[in-house]
């Protein structure tokens, strides 16, 4: 009851305010028709496309920059966006489309991108794009991704409505359902319907808990924000394994070390870490920067989920 009431309060607030507005004015002026480059790109299925014409034109897009060899933030962002797509099923592939652009096009072949997409259970409408290095750099520069080193690239996401020119940046680590509302608000027709008090669709009142709206123990909040996009506790594997009984199957000290720095264990060729990496490739557990207290809270939640 609390979960649905929380969503209802958010929706009521949106209706009262006429719906959220894209923050184009805050992020910069609206993008005109010539701003988004129409360079050649290649999709994960090998199709040759034009970026503006085929990936962007007439659509609301949720765009991320990734590369498949990334061992920390890219897998986590993509997993979070995989959760987000599940909250947008009624508009996914109709008005809202996901686009991930590789910033390592020399190494990210369509085959590698296809394997990456499959690992995160992405919708067929979600494009993973590579292409000529110079063309990808044009996309990166125009859309604000101008870092020089792969490991320092932006980890926020870009929301863009090509019909209106409105755009804004968002974080994949925001509460998923609130982020879904932000994506929907990019559509002026949706905002208008909200302002007229139209009936709230079921998609806006999910059964899943809302992390920022419900009062959760620290371990549960961490799990929802950092782990639930890849794992469940008792509901079977998702992108990664079900964590039920983790601390019965694994030594507690090993589990704590793996949560702290899985990359270090893989570098040491730890057999369990390698087996997990191979079983769920290319979706490898990233290093999350957890403190000792965070790890204890997470393990306490995994042992006794509520």
Q: Which residues 6+ apart lie within 8 Å of 284 measured at CB?
A: 71, 75, 262, 266, 277
Q: Which residues 6+ apart lie within 8 Å of 119 measured at CB?
A: 239, 280, 281, 282, 283
74 is in an annotated binding site: yes
- Give the 3-state secondary structure of residue 179: helix
227 is in an annotated binding site: no
- Give the 3-state secondary structure of residue 152: helix
HSE-CB at 155 with a 13 A cutoff on CA atoms is: 15
- Return the closest-CA partner of residue 224 out of 96, 21, 83: 83
103, 145 Cβ separation under 8 angstroms: yes
Q: Tokens 């199957």: give the residue.
A: 249
Q: Do you know the residue count of the chain? A: 306
Q: Tokens 């609301």: give the residue.
A: 60
Phi/psi for 159 (5° steps) reads -110, 130
Binding residue ranges for Cu cation:
70, 74
Binding residue ranges:
70, 74
């Amino acid at each position: 009851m609390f979960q649905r009431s929380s969503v209802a309060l958010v929706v009521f607030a949106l209706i009262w305010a006429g719906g959220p507005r894209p923050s184009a004015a805050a992020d910069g002026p609206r993008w005109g028709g010539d701003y988004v480059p129409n360079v050649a790109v290649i999709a994960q299925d090998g199709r040759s496309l034009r970026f503006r014409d085929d990936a962007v034109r007439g659509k609301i897009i949720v765009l991320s920059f990734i590369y498949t060899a990334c061992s920390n933030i890219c897998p986590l962002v993509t997993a979070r966006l995989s959760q987000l797509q599940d909250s947008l099923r009624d508009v996914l592939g109709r008005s809202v489309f996901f686009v991930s652009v590789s910033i390592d096009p020399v190494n990210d072949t369509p085959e590698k991108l296809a394997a990456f997409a499959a690992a995160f259970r992405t919708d067929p409408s979600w494009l993973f794009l590579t292409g000529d290095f110079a063309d990808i750099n044009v996309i990166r520069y125009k859309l604000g991704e101008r870092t020089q080193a792969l490991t320092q690239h932006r980890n926020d996401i870009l929301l863009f409505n090509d019909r209106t020119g409105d755009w804004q940046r968002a974080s994949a680590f925001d509460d998923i359902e609130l982020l879904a509302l932000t994506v929907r608000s990019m559509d002026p027709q949706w905002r208008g319907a909200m302002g007229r008090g139209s009936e709230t669709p079921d998609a806006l009142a999910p059964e899943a808990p809302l992390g920022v709206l419900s009062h959760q123990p620290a371990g549960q909040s961490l799990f929802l924000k950092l782990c639930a996009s890849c794992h469940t506790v008792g509901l079977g594997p998702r992108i990664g394994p079900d964590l039920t009984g983790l601390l019965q199957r694994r030594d507690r000290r090993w589990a704590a070390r793996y949560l702290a720095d899985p990359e270090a264990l893989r570098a040491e060729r730890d057999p369990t870490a390698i087996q997990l990496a191979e079983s769920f490739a290319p979706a490898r557990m990233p290093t999350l920067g957890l403190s000792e207290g965070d790890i204890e809270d997470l393990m306490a939640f995994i042992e006794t989920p509520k």
